[in-house]
Structure formats: structure tokens, C-alpha cells
Chain A
Amino acid sequence: MTDNAVVAEGLVKHFGDVHALDGIDLTVARGQVVGLLGPNGAGKTTTVRILSTLLQPTAGRAEVAGFDVVRQPDQVRRAIGLTGQYAAVDEYLTGRENLRMFGDLYHLSPRYVKERSAELLEWFELTEAADRPAKTYSGGMRRRLDLAASLVAQPSILFLDEPTTGLDPRSRLGLWGVISNLVEQGTTVLLTTQYLEEADQLAQDIVVIDHGAVIAHGTAEQLKDQIGGDRLEVSVADPARVGDAIAALGGIGGGAVAEESRISMPVSGGSTVLVDAVRALDAQGIEVTDLLLRRPTLDDVFLALTGHAAEDDTPAPATGRGRRKDGAA
């Protein structure tokens, strides 16, 4: 067996003339967390569905836990847990009954299922609601039950498709804790997300995809380095003077973008930049309310790579959600 829990090579998936995936390469080492990052319609769910044996690729191959997803789906299914993009639990069953059903379908002994369910319910803070139909659960509770269901059989590889979408910040933090905890215990995780912060927090390795192709790959730090140095951010007191401020800062660096009274620009040269900036602005008599130098976030990376922000729902020009053969993109 290899050291890689997931290997995908040249995955292609066409739905009619929609090219959902255009040749995705991906590896996840055993025990690693990899974040699959991309905007709406990038192909995240399609990738996860192929890796979890739900869809057959049009071309390319993939191995999960050392088994081919097309030829050995049963072995793959025994090794994985899947939490899809939308919580998939039975609404009419209680939380406990849901876990029991999935445990039974994994062919686990009733005693084990009982203990494991109780433990998972406790862990996900669902014990109080355990005997109520899932219909009465809030979105966050359903999501947690959904995740618990994929953990009944203690899978060694976990696929999480946008696990925290729609959760409030507290639940999101809670779920991050759960995921980190699983990883500490040796679980391999492939998670998709639209939140750069999430990938940054959880994943050692990030794969950025757009229009079904990998456009960048590396650790969060590597991706940030890829777009170059730090960013200078300046807020001016009088929005009318933004133009003046940009002109004043011209000697420090180019490529400034302004949003209302806030200016952001890539710079190099470390902290002396701050001093230079203060002098330049002061010389023009521009009053500054905030001035800082920061490392680029994944948002900056995304913007630089794709030309649009990650959470920006607007698709690439004239292509709708999918990219078509006629190459409108």
C-alpha cells in the first residue's frame, strides 16, 4: 500500500457538453488534510463524488485507500466516510436512529453501534436532542448529525464537501475543532470549501481549482509567497483624498486598489515601507486613520489567480455555472 490515501490523475468529467472537470490531479498523503478550494461551479463536488464512487469519471483514474474507485468501489466504500454538500440524514428518524441505521448498513455489531452512537452524539453536543426526529433540528445540528453519521464506522479517509457552509461562526469553530481532532487521531481528510480562512486554518495542503482545472497548489504560505510580498493597507480620513493618497504612495509601489477610503497595494521591503508611507502621506497633508502592513490572505491569492474573489458568486463571463465546449469562457 502506498503512503497516499487519495491519488487522482487527470480526472475528467463531462455532463453532456458541460465540462465539470478538465483533468484534475490530486494527491492526499495518509494523515494529511487537503483543502480543495474553488468558487461555485469549480468542480469541487464533482471531484468528491468521483472519489467517493458516486460518479464515474469520463476519463482519468483515481485510487482511494489503494483501491481503484471505478473497479473496486466496495473496498473504497469500506474505507471512507462522506459528508455531502447538503446534510443527508433521515428527517423522520431521531438522531440516534439515524446513527443506528447507518451503523447497521456498515454491518457493525449492534453493541458497537450503540456505544459509538452515544459517544458521537455526546461529542457533537446532540445528546439532548438525540431522541427527537431530525426534522426538529436546526441547520447546524443537522450538519453535525450528518458528520457524526459519516464517522460511525471510524473511516480512515473522510470526504467533507463544504462542511461549514451555512453554519454560524460558533458552530464553524466547533466543527473545525472536531476536524482537527479527527486528524490528530490519524484520519485523512479531503475537504472542499469556499472559505479561504477555513482552508488556511485546517489544511496543510491547498489545491485551488477553477473551471474544473487545478490553478494552484501548495501550502497556504507557498500560495501567499507565490503572489509576492506583503500588502500595505491605508485608510484615509477623507474619502475624497483617496486619489491624492494613491499618487503620494506611487513612489513605494504600484498596483494600488481602492475601496471607499481604503487603499491596498502590494509592496516589498519590509517594515521600512511603513515609515516611507507615513512620510509620503504626511508631506501631502493627508490624514490617515489606519495604516498597516500584512501578509497576503488567501483572498488576495484567489483574486490574483482567478481574476475574481472566491466568494464572488458571479461566474466567469457568459458561461453560467458550467463551462461549455464551445469555449465561451
Chain B
Amino acid sequence: MTTLTTAAPVSMSRPFYGWTLHDGLVVARRNLIQTVRVPELLFFSLVQPVIFVLLFAYVFGGAIPIPGDGAADAYRQYLMPGIFGQTVAFAAASSTVGLAEDMHKGLIDRFRSLPMSPPAVLIGRTFADAARQVLVLVVLTITGYVVGWRIDNGLLNAIWAYGLLLLFAYTVAWIGSWVGLYMPNPETANTAGLIWLFPLTFLSNAFVPINSLPGWLQTFAAWNPISALVLACRELFGNPTGIQPDYWPLQHAEAYTLISCTVLIVIFATLSVRRYRRTTSR
């Protein structure tokens, strides 16, 4: 056996954007390579929302009236932003499961033994999970167009709507990361770790007009950040919005989306990084 001969290690100079971002990008690249190597994962994460679009558009489409809009295909127009919102919310799932897997395989232990920036593993994870949603949104948009959905309020507004959706994806990815760091194994992460996503997405205006919900559910749904996100998207895409009950988040949908995302990112990034610094695989 030969001996190693490489000269002493040479360090790279600090990039202008700092080590945390550098390390975050290295981890994000790794997570995105994984997406390319396991296309099944991406494929199946696309199948569900596409089926939702078809199901709601053709099966329930006529059954749900949209207050304030009598057009025959009003529900289809109303539905698409809801599906967008629900789909990006599930970006959290890949963060939760991905981190639980990394912990389980001992990769988190290894990362933690490196002289790298501690938040970077989580920054890379959340960034990659949000970035994947770009492709998901493209596929959904195409599906929407096939079933007759239309963007009806100019390109700039539409781009801003997609921007809000990605911001929201990034936000839930942080929540998902925090949940993932508490999961004992990937199997639990895949089930128990995702439970909170169902009330979050269904107790909202994503699929039904908010004033069709009874009392306290209406209050919850009105303050649910996903409702403001979906409403903001409906407004920006020029789709029917229904009639909003009198809640601040629904009167200021864009502002509330920006505020709630910022607050949630700050809270969950702090909690996640703190948890990450003391977690070990068993």
C-alpha cells in the first residue's frame, strides 16, 4: 500500500458572502443532487397536487359555489391558488423527513464534527426544499392551464404571487426542519412529523370560501397564514376571491403574508439552530 503524499491542506479564502452562506450552498447543492438522483421522489411529490387539481376541477368543481362570482368555471379559477398554497406548504415534508434521515444515518453527527457554520446544514436544507418548489409550481401552472385556469392580472403581479409562494415554502421548510430534528427516525417523521400540515392546509380558504366555515374555525382559518397567502395569490392572479369576512389578515393579505413568514422564519430558524447544536443520532 502506498502512502499519502498530498501536500499540506490549502484553505480557500473567505468568499465575500461569508462562510455561513458558502456552507449553506454546499449543503443545498448536495440536497438538490439528491433530487436529480432520485427523480421518483420529485415525481410523486408532483403527482398528488396534479391529481388534486383534476379531482377538484372535475369532480367537486360545480358543487362549491363561490360567493360573489356566478361564472360557471369560477371554482376552477378559485381553486388553483389554493392548490398552489397547499402544495408549497408540503415543502415542509421533505425538510422533516430529510433531516430525520440525515440524523438517522449519522450525517448530522459528521456535519457537527466539522468546523463548518452550524446553521448551514439547515439553511441548505430549507433552501433546497424551497428551490424544488419552483419546478413544482411550473408543473402545476401547466396543469392549471390545461383545466382552464388563467392568470388574469398581468405578468408582474403573477411573478410577485409566485414569489410569495416561494417565501411561504421557505417558511414552512424551517418549521419542518424544526419538527424533523425531534423525530426519532425517518418512519415517524414520515407520519407523525407531517400531521400538523393537514389542519394547516385544510382549515383555510384553500379549497372552500372562508365564510362557509363555522365560528371558531373561521377565526382560525382567517389568521392561518396560508389563507392570507392564498388570498393574496388570488388577488394577484386576478382570480375570484370570494367575499372576505372582516379580519385584518384578510383585509391585508400581502402584508400579513410577509409579516407572518418573517416572524415564523425568525422563530423557527432560532429554535432549529438551537436544537441542531445539541442533537445527536442514537
> Which residues in A have some Cβ–Cβ distance to B below 8 Å?
49, 52-56, 74, 77-78, 80, 82, 84-93, 97, 101-102, 104-112, 115-116, 119-120, 122-123, 133, 149-151, 153-154, 174, 177-178, 181, 184-185
Cβ-defined contact, B33 with A97, below 8 A: yes
Cβ-defined contact, A108 with B11, below 8 A: yes
Contact residue among B9, B19, B33, B106 (Cβ-Cβ distance under 8 Å from A86): B106
- List residues of chain B with CB within 8 A of the CB of A154: 6, 8-9
Tally of contact residues, B, Cβ under 8 A = 38
Once A88-B106, A88-B107, A92-B33 are accepted as A-B contacts, the answer to whether A82 and B113 lie under 8 Å apart by CB is: yes
Cβ-defined contact, B109 with A112, below 8 A: no
Residue in B closest to A105 when the chains form the complex, CB atoms? B116
- List residues of chain A with CB within 8 A of the CB of B30: 90, 93, 97, 101
Contact residue among A88, A102, A104, A110 (Cβ-Cβ distance under 8 Å from B109): A88
A-B pairs, top 7 by smallest CB distance, nearest first, are A88-B106, A77-B115, A82-B113, A92-B34, A112-B10, A88-B110, A109-B10
CA distance A106 to B23 in the complex (A): 9
Residue in B closest to A100 when the chains form the complex, CB atoms? B26
- List residues of chain A with CB within 8 A of the CB of B11: 107-109
- List residues of chain B with CB within 8 A of the CB of A115: 6
Query: Is there a chain A Cβ closer than 8 Å to B1's Cβ?
Result: yes
Known: A77-B113, A77-B114, A105-B27. 9 other contacts (CB 8 A): A49-B280, A53-B113, A85-B106, A109-B12, A110-B12, A116-B9, A119-B4, A123-B1, A153-B9
Cβ-defined contact, A104 with B26, below 8 A: yes
Query: Is there a chain A Cβ closer than 8 Å to B2's Cβ?
Result: yes
Contact residue among B23, B37, B113, B116 (Cβ-Cβ distance under 8 Å from A54): B113
CA distance A153 to B19 in the complex (A): 17
- List residues of chain A with CB within 8 A of the CB of B9: 106, 108, 112, 116, 153-154
CB<8 Å pairs between A and B, sample of 8: A82-B113, A88-B105, A101-B26, A101-B29, A106-B9, A108-B12, A116-B6, A184-B3
CA distance A115 to B120 in the complex (A): 25
CA distance A267 to B120 in the complex (A): 61
Query: Is there a chain A Cβ closer than 8 Å to B38's Cβ?
Result: yes
Cβ-defined contact, B6 with A119, below 8 A: yes
Cβ-defined contact, B110 with A84, below 8 A: yes
- List residues of chain A with CB within 8 A of the CB of B5: 119
Cβ-defined contact, A102 with B105, below 8 A: no
CA distance A52 to B109 in the complex (A): 10
- List residues of chain A with CB within 8 A of the CB of B6: 112, 115-116, 119, 154
- List residues of chain B with CB within 8 A of the CB of A86: 105-106
Cβ-defined contact, B2 with A82, below 8 A: no
Shortest distance from the beta carbon of B129 to any chain A beta carbon, whole Å? 15
CA distance A114 to B8 in the complex (A): 13
Contact residue among B3, B22, B106, B115 (Cβ-Cβ distance under 8 Å from A78): B115
Contact with A along B17-36 (1 / 0, CB 8 A): 00100110011011001100
Query: Is there a chain A Cβ closer than 8 Å to B132's Cβ?
Result: no
- List residues of chain B with CB within 8 A of the CB of A108: 9-12
Q: Which of B87-145 contact A (CB under 8 A)?
A: 105-107, 109-116, 120
Cβ-defined contact, A105 with B106, below 8 A: no
- List residues of chain A with CB within 8 A of the CB of B113: 52-54, 77, 80, 82
- List residues of chain B with CB within 8 A of the CB of A123: 1-2, 4
Once A116-B9, A123-B1 are accepted as A-B contacts, the answer to whether A54 and B109 lie under 8 Å apart by CB is: yes
Residue in A closest to B30 when the chains form the complex, CB atoms? A101
Cβ-defined contact, A107 with B19, below 8 A: yes
Residue in A closest to B105 when the chains form the complex, CB atoms? A88
Residue in B closest to A116 when the chains form the complex, CB atoms? B6
Contact residue among B19, B105, B110 (Cβ-Cβ distance under 8 Å from A82): B110
Cβ-defined contact, B37 with A92, below 8 A: yes
- List residues of chain B with CB within 8 A of the CB of A91: 105
CA distance A329 to B252 in the complex (A): 64
Shortest distance from the beta carbon of B92 to any chain A beta carbon, whole Å? 21
- List residues of chain B with CB within 8 A of the CB of A78: 115
CA distance A53 to B20 in the complex (A): 19
Residue in B closest to A82 when the chains form the complex, CB atoms? B113
Contact residue among A133, A149, A151 (Cβ-Cβ distance under 8 Å from B110): A149
- List residues of chain B with CB within 8 A of the CB of A74: 115
Cβ-defined contact, A92 with B3, below 8 A: no
Shortest distance from the beta carbon of B66 to any chain A beta carbon, whole Å? 44
CA distance A185 to B120 in the complex (A): 33
Cβ-defined contact, B3 with A185, below 8 A: yes
Cβ-defined contact, B1 with A178, below 8 A: yes
Shortest distance from the beta carbon of B140 to any chain A beta carbon, whole Å? 25
Residue in B closest to A77 when the chains form the complex, CB atoms? B115
CA distance A53 to B112 in the complex (A): 8
Once A55-B280, A133-B37 are accepted as A-B contacts, the answer to whether A105 and B111 lie under 8 Å apart by CB is: yes
Residue in B closest to A49 when the chains form the complex, CB atoms? B280
Shortest distance from the beta carbon of B11 to any chain A beta carbon, whole Å? 6
Residue in A closest to B279 when the chains form the complex, CB atoms? A54
CA distance A108 to B113 in the complex (A): 16
Shortest distance from the beta carbon of B192 to any chain A beta carbon, whole Å? 22
CA distance A178 to B241 in the complex (A): 67
Shortest distance from the beta carbon of B100 to any chain A beta carbon, whole Å? 15
Residue in A closest to B114 when the chains form the complex, CB atoms? A105
- List residues of chain A with CB within 8 A of the CB of B26: 101, 104-105
Shortest distance from the beta carbon of B268 to any chain A beta carbon, whole Å? 23
Shortest distance from the beta carbon of B14 to any chain A beta carbon, whole Å? 8
